[in-house]
Homo-oligomer: A and B are copies of this chain.
Amino acid sequence: MREVFQKELAEVQGRLVEIAESVTHIIKDATEAFTTSNALLAERAIGMAESNESKALALDELVIRILSRQSPVARDLRILVSALRISASLERMGALAGHIAAIARYRFPGSAIPASLVGTFEEMGRLDVELASKVTELLRNTNVDQAREIQAQDERIDELHRHVFDVVLADDWKENAMFTVDVTLASRYHERFADHVVDISSKVSYLTTGEWHEGE
């Protein structure tokens, strides 16, 4: 029984890694589509975000079947409940990346960002891609050192998010309202994407270090 359960847990882990890999592809295509106005890449990211959702739902069903068959307790139960939450975060990250791609597609052949903010969004995009790739590694090998790097990169994204507002709200911002709307939303999506990475890494650290409080 224990052996079957370990195999099932490995299957859950493998699927989480696979979904995280797909999220990495989505955010990569989405941020490139957004900063270079590439409609084809935008389409691809949007399509991948849809199939990412199905993969997350299928994983949830697998976790529920395991819960039902194995009735795990203590740490094993925690791992499976965490898998459900991590799957929800990964699904949401795919959707957020899809939203960034959708803005790019909507404005095509025009750009969704003015020249003055291209550098900022390139950096945000690069950081989000790195974060997605780190979270994939974290899920694969549960190396908690990665969790610290993730924290630092999230702080940098928050900084860039505030910078976007500083630029947009400065007196010399003369761009039209369309640019203002697009950069506001895209910046918010990037920031939320990184928040989910931090949430996932906290859950993995918690489970790995065993520092989990059983509540009252």
Residues in chain A within 8 A of chain B (CB atoms): 58, 61-62, 64-65, 67-68, 71, 73-74, 77-78, 81, 84-85, 88, 165, 168-169, 173, 177-178, 180-181, 184-185, 188, 214-216
Contact = CB atoms under 8 A, between A and B. Distances in A.
Contact of A81 (B64, B177, B181, B185): B64
A72 B88 CA distance: 22
Contact of A64 (B71, B77, B185, B188): B77
A189 B155 CA distance: 22
Q: Which 4 A-B pairs have the closest CB atoms?
A: A71-B71, A61-B215, A180-B180, A68-B73
Contacts of A169: 177-178, 181
A216 B74 CA distance: 28
Contacts of A67: 67, 77, 81
B61 A68 contact: no
A178 B165 CA distance: 9
A84 B67 CA distance: 14
A163 to B, nearest CB: 13
A73 B69 CA distance: 8
28 contacts: A58-B216, A61-B214, A61-B216, A64-B77, A64-B78, A65-B215, A67-B67, A67-B77, A68-B73, A68-B74, A71-B71, A71-B73, A84-B84, A84-B85, A165-B181, A168-B177, A169-B177, A169-B178, A169-B181, A173-B177, A177-B177, A177-B180, A180-B180, A180-B181, A181-B184, A184-B184, A185-B188, A188-B188
Contacts of A77: 64, 67-68
A161 B78 CA distance: 39
